Amino acid sequence: MLTGKEYIESLRKRNIKVYFMGELLDSATLSENPFLRGHFNAAAMTYDMAFDPVCKDLLNVSSHLTGKTINRFTHVHQSCEDLVKKVKMLRAISLRTGSCYQRCVGCDALNAAYTVTYEMDKALGTQYHERLKKFLLYVQENDLMVAGAMTDPKGDRGLSPGKQADPDLFVHVVKRDDKGIVIRGAKCHMTGMINSHEMLVMPTMAMGPDDKDYAVACALPVDAPGVLHIFGRQTNDGRKADGDLDQGNPRFAVVGGECLTVLEDVFVPWEKVFMCGETDFAGLLVERFASYHRQNYGGCKGGVSDIVIGAAALAADMGGYAKAAHVKDKLNQMIHLTETLYCCSIACSAEGAKTASGAYYVNPLLANCSKHNVTSLIYEIDRLAQDIGGGILATMPSEKDMNHPEVGKYVQKYLRGTASVPTEDRIRVLRLLENMTGGVALVESMHGAGSPQAQKVMYSKLANLEMKKQCVKDLVGIK
């Protein structure tokens, strides 16, 4: 298994094309770029914590393929205990980083593809599952980070993939031969893509009979010929070039470094193709991936919310108002909401079940409820944190002003809270709160792993309303 340092060093060998602000970046020094550095550091923590005695039980697991000890992010779940430990692992890493560490997307994609390819082969006589197992073994043996690539641009949402004016708005196969396939299109909002080794491409929605070219799943290196990545802007990213203090979380970025990944006639050999035209299984792969990924949010967002709670409490301490009854009440509300998120993720894991492949799958009803809670409760947690932090969150002068030879003394003097706390320490905590409770972090809570409507569709389908109505009829004696 790799350490965090070894992981970052392994990425220097890639010839990846990453554009940001109109410039092609040097692939060998991406991890040192001030706009990208935090994303690399956060992902590196998923490697380093595997060697931490306190966390080894959460991040280390035996491969069901080889029996060797591997990082849990490369593991296919073999029990409900595995599913529970995954959630606990995610919360633990969030407590160390206060950010998205990106690696869970690929883990969820591997698990979804593992279960679906097995069922596809049984139903259709295909050979996808053995290919997937070989790819999984490659990932485990080299401790690779895999980016899950599901979301397509989608174009006109009222039209199916095959009916779009521009066929490239969904990733599709443009050529097949005896060596492999060629794919074209793009994937949006790609978390952790620029600091991954491989990507696992999946269909983005259920497909109809006319969409065979779009029902494609495959793996390829993130630096394969024909692949380029356009890194997205983030809230206050201009501060990353200004020094540490104004960033709030200078070592780790708050979100996952999302990008637009363009696939311009990319060749994929057959041994790395796991679906090609099987439209009846496209929707199942989407549902499995979505439920695995929605399982995570009470874990990772629970840990991130722990940091927000701690920062709000520290801000109150440093401002001298921590003993106020309304502040204590708000902190208690934040704690309650955070644990509500966490227990829902634990529940969907504990209620998981074995699939035909032998791998374990979460309870999809509870997993979708877990993510749907995040789309609203995180906003309330962050609202309460901003309430406790005060208006100063939005009005603080810059680090340059604080260090200025003429006006710095005024920033130090007038932004001090309690006399025992240095002004700079107070500003650091307030900047962290500002950074974590606004902008792109909230958008990710809303739309990451699917927008609220996607979860509503799933849990309305899974809730068995007819059974509930029948129970009422039985209870009141209606024949």
- Cα 432 from chain centroid? 20
Residues 6+ positions from 42 with CB-CB distance below 8 Å: 97, 99, 100, 101, 102, 252, 253
The Cα–Cα gap between 119 and 354 comes to 13
Closest CA to 88 of 407, 414, 345, 430: 345
Closest CA to 378 of 443, 430, 319: 443
Q: Are strands 18-20 and 23-24 parallel, antiparallel or unpaired?
A: antiparallel
Give φ, ψ of 270 to 5 degrees: -55, -35
Closest CA to 330 of 256, 384, 249, 373: 384
Angle, CA 104 vertex, CA 102 and CA 106 arms, to 5°: 95
Sign of the torsion angle spanned by Cα atoms 205, 208, 210, 212: positive
Give the residues across from 216 on adjacent strands: 276
The Cα–Cα gap between 350 and 18 comes to 40
Between the CA of residue 288 and those of 141, 282, 291, 294, 367, what are the distances in Å? 25, 10, 5, 10, 11
The Cα–Cα gap between 444 and 460 comes to 23
The catalytic site residues sit at 100, 104, 191, 258, 293, 297, 300, 444
Between the CA of residue 397 and those of 31, 407, 423, what are the distances in Å? 29, 10, 12
Q: Are 147 and 191 in contact (CB under 8 A)?
A: yes
Residue 68 has a CB neighbour count (10 Å cut-off) of 10
Q: Are 225 and 15 in contact (CB under 8 A)?
A: no
Q: Are 114 and 359 in contact (CB under 8 A)?
A: yes
Q: Tell me, letter by letter, the H, E, C secondary structure of 354-369.
A: ECCCCCEECCHHHHHH
The Cα–Cα gap between 460 and 201 comes to 28
Q: Are 44 and 5 in contact (CB under 8 A)?
A: yes
Helix (H) or strand (E) holding 343: helix 325-350
Helix (H, G, I), strand (E, B) or coil at 5: helix
The Cα–Cα gap between 270 and 183 comes to 12
